[in-house]
Amino acid sequence: MQTVTNWDALADQSLRTGTISRDDALQVLRAPDDQVLSLMAAAYRVRREHFGNTVQLYFLMNAKSGLCPEDCGYCSQSKIATAPVPKYTILQREKLLDAARIAKERGAKTYCFVISARGPSEREMKAVEQIVPEIKAQYGLDICACLGILNAGQAVRLKACGVDRVNHNLNTSEAHYADICSTHGYADRVATLENVRRAGLELCSGGIIGMGEADEDVVDMALALHDLEVESIPLNFLNSIEGTPLQTADNLSPQYCLKALAMFRLVNPTRELRIAGGREIHLRSLQPLGLYAANSLFVGDYLTTKGQAPEEDYRMIEDLGFEVTGTTNL
């Protein structure tokens, strides 16, 4: 496979056809580091065509922490992790509402709440059905729910109570999935996304880079998300947490992370692309460049790890000449 040097030609293809080929996507990931700026310029052409210079902010709330029966190797909340994380059942109404207030104050358009579980219990479903209408009425936020594996009936109930979007990440490629989890499979995740789609909800699904996967796995995940027509793609860079099976994984450079963001943009030109967990650790001082491909950020902390201070995110967006969309608070 020859190295592509005319990244603008790939941008043209992405704009014209709505994606790029698997071989071309691999070439993006394997581009020499000295071509990263040219590659980001090409990705920015595609981003600007579909999203202008806008950035959408998301706020993440860990609504139920720890206590998870699954064995995902990256997760500090799994049953096999020894990481010292908080453990609590689903938060009470007042705490979930207060987090929604903070999301609004920080300029987030979407409030994401997450529970650690294989899937929601009936008690947890009822708690979601109660709180979502209140959040939307008081704060006007879009709601993205991440509740684990969902059956068709649960997806319908989420739609009925006002949830806008469900997050359920593919996390990696089908080929690599068994290497990071044994208590459920890749097919279970796809089935959840199909149930969510049939219920009329938008799909939020992405993955984690840095879990020992090959370049081919990263590309196959990007292409699978394209085929599933997900509306929103959060791209995480592994924060290797002590006490998890992947605690020693640390093989990402800022340049590789930028190439991954560019590849996801070219493969999925019209989809919201969000820089998610691990950006502060792996992109470091190159974080602003990531927004030339991505058009979305989490503002604030993640599930069990700290994020960059919101004020730094606002300053970064302003310095780029970009504009936060969906809010007038900033």
d(CA 215, CA 29): 7
Query: Is 75 a known active-site residue?
Result: yes
d(CA 15, CA 264): 13
Q: Which residues pair with 235 in a beta bridge?
A: 207, 275
Letter for the amino acid at 63? A
d(CA 132, CA 93): 10
Query: Is 271 a known active-site residue?
Result: no
Query: Is 257 a known active-site residue?
Result: no
Q: Which of 45, 47, 106, 144 is catalytic?
A: 144
Contact 282, 257 (CB under 8 A): yes
Q: Which of 45, 47, 72, 146 is catalytic?
A: 72
Q: Which of 75, 146, 161, 257 is catalytic?
A: 75
Q: Which of 146, 161, 181, 204 is catalytic?
A: 204
Structure tokens at 163: 């949830």
> 323 in helix, strand or coil?
strand
Q: Could you give the residue ranges of the DSSP H alpha helices within 18-67?
A: 22-29, 36-51
Q: Which of 45, 112, 165, 271 is catalytic?
A: 112
- What is the DSSP track for 66-129? S------TT-TTSTT-------B-SPPHHHHHHHHHHHHHTT-SEEEEEE-SSS--HHHHHHHH
Structure tokens at 17: 């056809």
Residues labelled as active-site residues: 68, 72, 75, 112, 144, 204, 274
